Chains A and B, each alone.
Chain A
Amino acid sequence: GDSVTQMEGPVTLSEEAFLTINCTYTATGYPSLFWYVQYPGEGLQLLLKATKADDKGSNKGFEATYRKETTSFHLEKGSVQVSDSAVYFCALENQAGTALIFGKGTTLSVSS
């Protein structure tokens, strides 16, 4: 079935460091892909998405490119800030088009 695998955390970085959070997926066809972010005590918020192969989603300095060859959707940011500390979830739309399937989440901690 459809599934998402993302790198285990926590990821600990200093401010202004480069961030990569790996995400790979297993699915039939080419599902829409998403990154959501969860700040402490809050619900999930959509960070970015890509709906077809080679699309690049971007928002707030974060980017991810839909790579069908490697079934990946890695999240990157060139210079992280303390305010980026949160849990990041990679997700795909299931084949039936009825739900998002989430990875287990990666905790990012950025220190000044």
Chain B
Amino acid sequence: DSGVTQTPKHLITATGQRVTLRCSPRSGDLSVYWYQQSLDQGLQFLIQYYNGEERAKGNILERFSAQQFPDLHSELNLSSLELGDSALYFCASSSEKQPSGNTIYFGEGSWLTVV
């Protein structure tokens, strides 16, 4: 158990809908990362938050947004869903700003299926 909790574990929704994925980082970790894992693209970095503020953006679509709340949990919002958004979405956390600063711990992921 990494200590990173993601909900829901599985989600099936229709095209055009909106979903919210939730992440609780390890206790004390200030940094939260979101990644998308798909068969064709592999693991893609989406966005990083540190202590409530957006720190870096990766390949995140405009239809997607995220935030980190004062209690440090984070949510990834996916809207106007398309079939191609079906993927495993990982949240990860770390105590440091930089990935090399300390170990990044990954949650078990949220499986999103868009039908």
Answer yes or no: are A and B bound together in one complex: yes
Which A residues form the contact surface with B (CB < 8 A)?
32, 36, 41-46, 49, 51, 89, 93, 96-105
Cβ-based interface call for B25 (8 A): no
Partner of B106, one of A44, A49, A51, A103: A44
B104 near A43: Cβ-Cβ < 8 Å: no
* Docked complex Cα distance between A96 and B103 (Å): 17
Partner of B55, one of A41, A51, A98: A98
Point out the residue from A36, A46, A99, A102 that lies within 8 Å of B42, measured CB to CB: A102
Q: How far is the CA of A32 from the CA of B100 in the complex (A)?
A: 6
Q: Which of A46, A51, A96, A104 contacts B56 (CB 8 A)?
A: A96
- Do most interface residues of chain A lie in helix, strand or loop, or is the interface mixed? loop
Q: Chain B's nearest CB lies how many Å from the CB of A30?
A: 11
Question: Contact between B45 and A100 (Cβ–Cβ < 8 Å)?
Answer: yes
State whether the Cβ of B76 lies closer than 8 Å to any Cβ in chain A: no
Q: A46-B103, A93-B100 are in contact. Are A98 and B48 (CB under 8 A)?
A: yes
Contacts of A32 in B (CB 8 A): 99-100
In the complex, the answer to whether B99 meets A44 with C-beta atoms within 8 Å is: no
* The 8 residue pairs across chains A and B that have the minimum distance between CB atoms: A98-B56, A43-B106, A32-B100, A102-B43, A104-B42, A99-B45, A44-B106, A97-B98
CB distance from A29 to the nearest CB of B (A): 12
